Amino acid sequence: MICIMGSESPEYATDECMEQVGITDPSYSEVAQCQTSAEGEQLLHDLGVATKSLNPELTWVPWITINEVRKGEGGRGGDSNLIKSTSFFLI
């Protein structure tokens, strides 16, 4: 996701990013098909609705939530270390 969103042309970056990180399954054509399908559009819409309803409100990306709960260190530092941020859920 960071690769795609960090691209100057995110709408064209999916195949390059998949190759960069070694994703072969699903294939790029399967991802592209989902991306332009009614189901893909609905999934994107649903994620947008979920993002809009976050409490506390999203203020930067990445914003880590697990089971609709945000935990971790206050401030951006908690999102730079996934293991440290999510250790609260393991206890």
Residues 2 and 43 in one domain: yes
Q: Which residue has better confidence, 88 or 8?
A: 8
Q: How many domains does the chain have?
A: 2
Residues 73 and 91 placed together within one structural domain of the fold: yes
Question: What Å distances lie between residue 31 and 5, 13, 42, 74, CA to CA?
Answer: 16, 12, 15, 35
Same domain, 13 and 37: yes
Residues 40, 75 share a domain: no
Query: 34 or 90: whose pLDDT is higher?
Result: 34
Q: pLDDT per residue over 7-62, tens digit each?
A: 888 778 888 999 998 999 999 999 989 988 999 999 999 999 998 998 888 887 77
**Residue range 62-82, pLDDT digits in tens:** 777 777 777 655 545 455 666
Do 63 and 88 share a domain, yes or no? Answer: yes
Domain that holds residue 82: 55-91
Say what the pTM is: 0.61
Report which secondary-structure segment, H or E, holds 38.
helix 38-52
- Dist. CA 82–CA 37, nearest whole Å: 31
